[in-house]
Structure 1
Amino acid sequence: MKSEKEKMLAGENYDASDKELITRWHLAKKLMRQFNQADSTNSDFIENTLQLLLGSKGENIWISAPFFVDYGENIHIGNNCEINMNCVFLDCNTITIGDNTGIGPNVQIYAVGHPINPDERLSKNNKKEAFAFWNTSSAPVTIGSNVWIGGGSIILPGVTIGDNTTIGAGSVVTKSIPANCLAVGNPCKVIRHL
């Protein structure tokens, strides 16, 4: 039988109140708070905190505080990447970012979703001690190498953005975008191939 974490990473409905998941969620919040409150010149502390918070990270990474995550451990960042301030990565599935990629400020990456039908949203969890979380599913987000995500963009579950692509500021990326293009808008669409 699959654990709730295995269900989450497989894109199946899962119980977000599961002990393993909630324990990691709380640890991620602690590490995130430490990172966000760190002196920006304390590079050793920042590096050590990110090692504990993220699933993996390459060399030469710059993440500006504040930075917000769900679990942190499902985020994988390549080499030579910059993530600007106030980004939100809801990593209920994997969020993978390739090498030499830049993420503008206020970018939100959602690897999680809930039912569209309101009658299906609220969990039927009968645990008296647990909050009744919404029914939840997830899908991975993959961002290629040499990508630039403009500030204020939102990337939804299941999206892949190909290598060498630029996403214009303020875009809402609802579907995958191919490599080597400029895409903008809500919903985000390719406007030029590079």
Structure 2
Amino acid sequence: MAEPTEKEKMLRGELFRAFTPDLVAARARCKYACNHFNKTDEVPRRRLVELWRDTLANINSIIDDHTPLPAQLDDPVADEEQFKHEPWIEAPIKVDYGFNVTLGEGVFVNFNCVFIDSCPITVGARTMFGPNVNLFAGTHPLDPALRNGTEGPEMGKPITIGEDCWIGGNVIVLPGVTIGKGVTIGAGSVVTKDVPSFHVAAGNPARIIRKIETAMTE
């Protein structure tokens, strides 16, 4: 049996070396795509969706979703209406790999957000991010002898955020965290542990403050 590649180890959440040619190239590709997205000025909604998820000639998309876009309509308003359920991402954004990021319908990501997607980062529909939200699905060994700078391995754990959440500005979510449906995370919080559905959590580290009374159900 062939030895797993560093990318395969990464996707499985095992120790892997990030400074191998294939993963360096993957990050460079995504960095180029993010820079292109971030430098785009006033453009139609269709163009932003293309840059986020659909490969164009000589342009890399940020995420690995190449579902064909709907046919362009002559009426600009009607054409924009076709994308009302697509995620809305405000520039600038920073993403490490892109192929590990999945955003649900109607997700809103405000400016200056960071996705370290060594492992999958999944965000449910209609969830909203304030500015400067950082999702860190990657981490490093605690033992400095093993860590060994860029020569040593790193690892990751998935981050899952449910539908209809509100993640306040300057929130940090750490590897392996699951945030349930309908959760609110207070601004400036550091989320180190799972948060159950329909609760408010805040602080560093974030703690459950109260349950949210809602007609919404799981």
TM-score by length of 1: 0.91
Q: 2:137 is matched with which residue: 111, 120, 123?
A: 111
Q: Distance in 2 between matches of 1:139 and 1:61?
A: 23
Q: Which residue of 2 aligns with 1:92?
A: 118
Question: Is the Cα contact below 8 Å between 2:49 and 2:86 reproduced in 1?
Answer: no
Q: 1:54 is matched with which residue: 39, 57, 63?
A: 63
Q: 1:83 is matched with which residue: 103, 109, 119?
A: 109
Task: Give, in angstroms, the shift of residue 20 of structure 1.
Answer: 2.1
Task: Give, in angstroms, the shift of residue 117 of structure 1.
Answer: 2.1
Q: Which has the higher contact order (CA 8 A, sep 6+)?
A: 1
Task: Give, in angstroms, the shift of residue 23 of structure 1.
Answer: 1.5
SS at match of 1:116: coil
Task: Give, in angstroms, the shift of residue 18 of structure 1.
Answer: 2.2
Q: 1:19 is matched with which residue: 18, 21, 30?
A: 21
Q: Which residue of 2 aligns with 1:37?
A: 39
Aligned residue identity for 1:140: P
SS at match of 2:126: coil
RMSD: 1.6
Please, which runs of 5 or more residues in structure 1 have no aligned partner? 124-131
SS at match of 1:88: strand
Q: Which residue of 1 aligns with 2:11?
A: 9
SS at match of 2:210: strand
Residues 130-186 of structure 1: CA deviation (Å, up to 9, x unaligned): xx3442101000000000100000000000000011000000001111111000000
Task: Give, in angstroms, the shift of residue 9 of structure 1.
Answer: 1.0
Aligned residue identity for 2:180: G
Matched, 1:174 2:192: yes
SS at match of 1:8: helix
Residues 133 and 34 (structure 1), Cα distance of their counterparts in 2 relative to 1, 3 Å cut:
farther
Question: Is the Cα contact below 8 Å between 1:88 and 1:108 reproduced in 2?
Answer: yes
SS at match of 1:177: coil
Residues 97-141 of structure 1: CA deviation (Å, up to 9, x unaligned): 000100110000000001122222115xxxxxxxx3442101000
Q: Distance in 1 between matches of 2:179 and 2:50?
A: 29
SS at match of 1:53: coil
The aligned runs of 1:59-70 (5 Å cut-off) are 59-70=85-96
Question: Is the Cα contact below 8 Å between 1:25 and 1:70 reproduced in 2?
Answer: yes
Question: Is the Cα contact below 8 Å between 1:32 and 1:68 reproduced in 2?
Answer: yes
Please, which runs of 5 or more residues in structure 2 have no aligned partner? 54-60, 68-82, 213-218
Q: Distance in 2 between matches of 1:98 and 1:40?
A: 27
Identity, % of aligned positions: 41
TM-score by length of 2: 0.81
**Structure ID, larger Rg:** 2
SS at match of 1:25: helix
Task: Give, in angstroms, the shift of residue 60 of structure 1.
Answer: 2.5
Q: Distance in 2 between matches of 1:167 and 1:160?
A: 12
Q: Distance in 1 between matches of 2:94 and 2:129?
A: 14
